[in-house]
């Protein structure tokens, strides 16, 4: 029997047949390979069939003629059915695939070491000579979606070898033009694939078959692999159009009615969207409409999925509508129509792809999970882009924006990285919420990339995609990709430092140490807590026999020196300011009021990584080494090292915070970055670990609970974004530090300043009666509201006319550095506070000559009362260096 069959689909390739067969049979003769060549021709009109038949008399060449052209995939499958050998090689007829690679392709199959081999352009030794840069980029971009379904470097390769039964067993309805990709995507998880480097040449003669129809076929292939669809089947259109129009009409009617009654857009569109979803759902469960959507029974999962999509769509379109309203000036009927159309389109695609697939997915469960996970990653990043410019700034963000206005190499309470990033963002996008948060949106992908690469090094791409999913989903990493605090660059630097530490300590990579030093230095410029990776590294080197050798080598010490060099501007700032920042972050923390906060620390961990993440940590501490051994090696050495590395990078920083929490207050976000090293191990609880481990009820329960946890976290996150920007119907406003009411307060304060200026002839300074929140937020939003401030009052003009209560001798953090009270002599001041107590305190009155009555400032948010602030006018300020 023939050992290898070469399958060559053809369509108008007459000029390429002779040189192709000549090269194939030269390889046969040189390598002594028994083979046949099976051509599958799709009604060529240039004499291709005649050229093939001319070889049949003297060579093992066969021709399969097809009367109906159902695409390249169908041609390859027809060739597989006609072939006589156990192994087949599929290649193009245009001489872009070198026949000389055939022996190397079939050798692993004949030896039994692999199930499939691919002629790859993108592994070491592969080449694509003559390609322009734009063509190389476009090829990589076209390959990227396919690489989500497989781990090979060149999944779109048309040259591959495989057992004939695999091709013949594919679904007859395969429509993709890349049959090799179909094999990879639909194979079992443990398919053994090897990539053989080839030199890919442009076609010898003829014209390329690549066109818009082929590209569309490829995109449909990607979608059909998951069982999804975009358009209804023939005959279903009428009923689906009825359901869609019913939802659109209901949505528009409700939104229009609620807006005419004075309801804010944020609440009106939510009620309209939910009403429309209810109308569509009633239509869906009525016969015969339900029958055309799905052939399966109406299940709880299907109903839950429909409403889950409805909620996500409603909350997502609120963000898009808010962008159109605020930045596009849309309002009234135009905004209503836009909201309705957005909801209809997003709801249609969400349900067609994820909830009502027409046919069973062809990919395995592992790849299906990967696709869903990446969809979540893309969706959550889209949320950040949409809402970054709508949420009012946190008081901390406004404070750091003031950092950027007073750019320096150091500050009292934080290093300067946050100021640099905000300055860059506002330079590009203006002094807006989006400009302030642009740095967080840019640093998050950096951390996500290192999360993916770290998991790839530790385990495999399967776990890496799950790790990326967790990095996107878990609350700490989500919010550090949106809210601009020092934790945003810290998370990225921490991720990079852990990745390169893993390369150095586990992989023995000498060059990784220079990157460790760089990222540690950048991390120290972001937030001092990254120094905890230093003792964690030393601990690992002490515990790990192989890593102990680094104590005798210069690389770790040079890395530490590089980190200090990068960090040196902060040291210089402290030297010039009596070590103020170092004292604030060390002695200042220790001297704080004694309080037991371990319970608060544990609660913060639950919020940052979810309760399921904390449970996964406990299971890892008990059984992590054995679980890791399932992936890494049989004797447990690699598993032991990975287990030790994770424990050192997680538990040592955690132990520091736990110890501190016994007698001092801890902050919600402190432990956030340290969980990065644990993410791949946490991701292990999201997949089947094999027969021995899968029997564990705990592991099975974790796999079932993660999807529910993801849904809850996603809905909670999206509801929170919508609530803090547009509100939610029936939910009262929240008075606190979170993005609520600053814009309206700034407007009201400016009105009061104008009235005072009209009466007294002098513009008062605005003083926030707390260390920094009110002053920082009003500085940002009074500028947005058209404040009088900057540029009118001499030395104060450098920072505007909004200050903190440091003018009365209390602590004002950096405000004491930026605005020395001595420069404010004789000024009138408008004091603004969250409650009456600071206004009643007689202490500050010794600084002024006249005090007016305390008055209220009602603040609204989204058309509803939010809270009440208080203000008081004081006149004739006199600085008192030592009031006692």
Distance CA 701, CA 694 (A): 10
Q: Where are the domains of the chain?
A: 4-225, 237-362, 375-711, 742-875
Q: Is the pLDDT of residue 129 over 90?
A: no
Q: What is the mean pLDDT of the chain?
A: 85
Strongest mean pLDDT among 103-112, 340-349, 509-518: 509-518
Q: Is the pLDDT of residue 840 over 90?
A: no
Residue 112 CB-density burial (10 A; 0-12 exposed, 13-18 middle, 19+ buried): exposed
Q: What percent of the chain has pLDDT over 90?
A: 48
Mean pLDDT check: name the lowest of 275-289, 291-305, 308-322, 820-834: 291-305
Residue 166, C-beta contacts closer than 8 angstroms, at least 6 positions apart: 115, 116, 183, 187
Mean pLDDT check: name the lowest of 51-55, 534-538, 624-628, 858-862: 624-628
pLDDT tens readout for residues 33-69: 889 999 999 888 888 989 999 999 889 999 998 877 6
Residue 133 CB-density burial (10 A; 0-12 exposed, 13-18 middle, 19+ buried): exposed
Residue 84, C-beta contacts closer than 8 angstroms, at least 6 positions apart: 1, 2, 5, 36
Q: Per-residue confidence at 174, pLDDT binned at 50, 70, 90?
A: low
Q: Is the pLDDT of residue 292 over 60?
A: no
Place of tokens 């976290």: 713
Q: Per-residue confidence at 139, pLDDT binned at 50, 70, 90?
A: confident
The answer to whether residues 68 and 116 touch, using CB atoms and an 8 Å cutoff, is no
Higher pLDDT, 473 or 231: 473
Q: Per-residue confidence at 593, pLDDT binned at 50, 70, 90?
A: confident
The answer to whether residues 792 and 801 touch, using CB atoms and an 8 Å cutoff, is yes
Residue 796 has a pLDDT of 39
Distance CA 450, CA 391 (A): 28
Q: What percent of the chain has pLDDT over 70?
A: 85
* Among 765, 763, 766, 743, residue whose Cα is nearest residue 755: 763
Residue 286, C-beta contacts closer than 8 angstroms, at least 6 positions apart: none
Average pLDDT over residues 256-260: 92
DSSP 199: B
Buried b (16+ CB within 10 A) or exposed e, 477-502: bbbbbbbbbbbbbbbbbbbbbbbbbb
- Residue 378 tokens, joined: 């893309």
Q: Is the pLDDT of residue 463 over 70?
A: yes
* Among 835, 832, 831, residue whose Cα is nearest residue 847: 831
CA distances from 712 to 376, 622, 708, 717, 871 (A): 13, 27, 6, 8, 41
CA distances from 384 to 319, 320, 478, 634, 710 (A): 10, 11, 9, 43, 17
Question: What are the phi and psi torsion angles at 149 (to 5°)?
Answer: -95, -10
Q: What is the DSSP string of 306-337?
A: HHHHHHHHHHHHHHHHHHHHHHS---HHHHHH
Q: Is the pLDDT of residue 307 over 80?
A: yes
CA distances from 8 to 16, 55, 168, 246, 292 (A): 11, 14, 15, 51, 40
- pTM beyond 0.75, yes or no: yes
Alpha carbon of residue 488 to chain centroid: 13
DSSP 835: S
pLDDT tens readout for residues 780-796: 998 755 444 433 333 33
Q: Per-residue confidence at 583, pLDDT binned at 50, 70, 90?
A: confident
* Among 353, 287, 280, residue whose Cα is nearest residue 314: 280
CA distances from 263 to 271, 275, 282, 697, 714 (A): 11, 16, 26, 50, 26
Which neighbouring-strand residues pair with 10? 41
Residue 635 has a pLDDT of 58
Higher pLDDT, 798 or 137: 137
- Residue 777 tokens, joined: 């937020």
Distance CA 376, CA 359 (A): 22
Higher pLDDT, 538 or 143: 538
CATH number of 4-225: 3.90.550.10
- Residue 692 tokens, joined: 């021995």
Higher pLDDT, 447 or 295: 447
- Residue 779 tokens, joined: 């500085």
pLDDT tens readout for residues 630-655: 767 655 688 899 999 999 999 999 99
Place of tokens 């000036």: 329
Residue 298 has a pLDDT of 62
HSE of 647 in the Cβ direction (CA atoms, 13 Å)? 20
Geometric angle at alpha carbon 189, from 9 and 6, rounded to 5°:
20
Residue 288 CB-density burial (10 A; 0-12 exposed, 13-18 middle, 19+ buried): exposed
Higher pLDDT, 776 or 188: 776
Average pLDDT over residues 177-183: 72
Q: Per-residue confidence at 215, pLDDT binned at 50, 70, 90?
A: low
Geometric angle at alpha carbon 427, from 421 and 430, rounded to 5°:
110
End-to-end CA distance of the chain: 105
Q: Is the pLDDT of residue 218 over 80?
A: no
pLDDT tens readout for residues 740-777: 788 899 999 999 999 999 998 889 999 999 999 999 99
Average pLDDT over residues 492-501: 98
DSSP 61: E
Long-range contacts made by residues 407-412, C-beta under 8 angstroms, separation at least 24? Answer: 408/573, 409/569, 409/570, 409/572, 409/573, 410/569, 410/570, 410/572, 410/573, 410/574, 410/577, 410/581, 411/573, 411/581, 411/814, 412/577, 412/580, 412/581, 412/584, 412/813, 412/814, 412/817
Q: Is the pLDDT of residue 459 over 80?
A: yes
The answer to whether residues 71 and 125 touch, using CB atoms and an 8 Å cutoff, is no
Q: Is the pLDDT of residue 511 over 50?
A: yes
Residue 280 has a pLDDT of 86
Which helix (H) or strand (E) segment holds residue 873: the answer is: strand 864-875
Distance CA 671, CA 607 (A): 11
């Amino acid at each position: 029997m023939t050992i290898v069959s070469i399958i060559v689909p053809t369509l108008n390739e007459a000029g390429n047949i002779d040189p192709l067969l000549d090269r194939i049979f030269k390889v046969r003769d040189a390598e002594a390979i028994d083979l046949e060549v099976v051509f599958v021709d799709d009604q060529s009109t240039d004499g291709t069939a005649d050229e093939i038949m001319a070889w049949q008399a003297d060579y093992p060449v066969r021709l399969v003629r097809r009367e109906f052209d159902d695409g390249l995939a169908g041609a390859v499958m027809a060739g597989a059915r006609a072939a006589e050998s156990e192994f087949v090689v599929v290649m193009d007829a245009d001489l872009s695939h070198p026949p000389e690679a055939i022996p190397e392709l079939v050798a692993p199959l004949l030896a039994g070491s692999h199930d499939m081999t691919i002629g790859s352009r993108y592994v070491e030794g592969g080449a694509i000579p003559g390609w322009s840069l734009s063509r190389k980029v476009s090829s990589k971009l076209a390959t990227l979606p396919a690489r989500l379904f497989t781990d090979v470097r060149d999944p779109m390769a048309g040259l591959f070898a495989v057992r004939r039964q695999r091709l013949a067993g594919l679904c007859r309805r395969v429509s993709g033009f890349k049959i090799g990709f179909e094999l990879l995507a639909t194979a079992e998880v443990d398919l053994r694939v090897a990539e053989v480097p080839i030199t890919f040449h442009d076609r010898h003669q003829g014209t390329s078959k690549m066109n818009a129809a082929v590209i569309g076929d490829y995109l449909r292939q990607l979608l059909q692999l998951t069982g999804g669809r975009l358009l209804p089947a023939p005959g279903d259109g009428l009923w689906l159009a009825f359901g869609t129009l019913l939802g659109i009409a209901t949505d528009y009617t409700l939104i229009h009615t609620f807006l005419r009654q004075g309801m804010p857009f944020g609440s009106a569109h939510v009620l309209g969207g939910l009403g429309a979803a209810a109308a569509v759902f009633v239509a869906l469960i009525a016969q015969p409409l339900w029958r055309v959507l799905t052939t399966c029974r109406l299940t709880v999962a299907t109903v839950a999925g429909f409403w889950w999509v409805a909620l996500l769509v409603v909350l997502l379109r609120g963000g898009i509508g808010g962008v159109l309203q605020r930045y596009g000036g849309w309002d009234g009927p135009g905004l209503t129509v836009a909201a309705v159309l957005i909801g209809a389109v997003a709801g249609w695609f969400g349900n067609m792809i994820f909830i009502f697939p027409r046919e069973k997915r062809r990919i395995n469960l592992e790849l299906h999970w990967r696709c869903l996970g990446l969809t979540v990653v893309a969706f959550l990043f889209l949320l950040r882009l949409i809402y970054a410019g709508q949420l009012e700034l946190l008081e901390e963000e406004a404070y750091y924006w003031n950092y950027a206005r007073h750019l320096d190499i150091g500050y009292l309470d934080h290093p300067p990285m946050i100021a640099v990033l905000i300055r860059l963002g506002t330079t590009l996008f203006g002094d807006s919420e989006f400009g302030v948060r642009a740095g967080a949106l840019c640093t998050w992908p950096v951390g996500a990339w290192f999360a993916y690469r770290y998991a790839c090094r530790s385990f495999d791409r399967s776990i890496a995609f799950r790790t990326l999913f967790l990095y996107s989903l878990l609350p700490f990493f989500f919010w550090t990709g949106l809210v601009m605090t020092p934790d945003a660059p810290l998370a990225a630097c921490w991720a990079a430092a852990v990745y390169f530490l893993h390369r150095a300590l586990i992989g023995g990579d000498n060059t990784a140490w220079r990157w460790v030093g760089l990222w540690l230095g950048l991390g120290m410029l972001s937030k001092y807590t990254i120094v905890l990776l230093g003792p964690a590294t030393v601990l690992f080197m002490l515990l790990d026999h192989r890593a102990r050798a680094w104590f005798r080598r210069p690389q770790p010490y040079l890395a530490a020196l590089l980190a200090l060099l990068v960090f040196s501007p902060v040291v210089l700032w402290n030297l010039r300011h009596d070590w103020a920042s170092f004292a604030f972050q060390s002695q200042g923390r220790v001297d704080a009021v004694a309080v037991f906060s371990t319970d608060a620390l544990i609660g913060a961990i639950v919020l940052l990584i979810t309760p399921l993440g904390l449970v996964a940590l406990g299971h890892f501490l008990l059984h992590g080494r054995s679980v890791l051994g399932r992936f890494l090696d049989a004797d447990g050495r690699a598993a032991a090292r990975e287990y030790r590395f994770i424990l050192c990078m997680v538990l040592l920083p955690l132990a520091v915070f736990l110890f501190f929490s016994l007698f001092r207050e801890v902050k919600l976000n402190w432990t956030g970055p340290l969980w990065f090293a644990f993410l791949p191990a946490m991701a292990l609880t999201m997949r089947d670990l094999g027969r021995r481990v899968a029997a564990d009820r705990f592991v099975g329960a974790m796999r079932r609970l993660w999807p529910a946890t993801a849904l809850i976290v996603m809905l909670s996150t999206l509801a929170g974004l919508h609530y803090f920007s547009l509100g939610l119907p029936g939910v009262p406003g929240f008075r606190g530090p979170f993005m609520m009411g600053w814009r309206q307060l700034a407007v009201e304060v400016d009105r009061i300043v104008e009235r005072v200026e009209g009466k007294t002839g002098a513009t008062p300074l605005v003083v926030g009666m707390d260390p920094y929140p009110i002053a920082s937020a009003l500085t940002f939003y009074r500028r947005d509201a058209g404040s009088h401030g900057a540029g009118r009052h001499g030395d104060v003009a450098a920072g505007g006319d909004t200050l903190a209560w440091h003018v009365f001798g209390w602590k004002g953090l950096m405000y004491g550095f930026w605005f020395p009270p001595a420069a404010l002599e004789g000024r009138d001041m408008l004091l603004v506070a969250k409650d009456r107590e600071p206004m009643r305190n007689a202490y500050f009155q010794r600084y002024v000559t006249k005090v007016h009555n305390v008055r209220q400032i009602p603040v609204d948010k989204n058309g509803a009362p939010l809270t009440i602030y208080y203000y008081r006018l004081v006149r004739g300020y006199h600085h008192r260096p030592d009031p006692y």
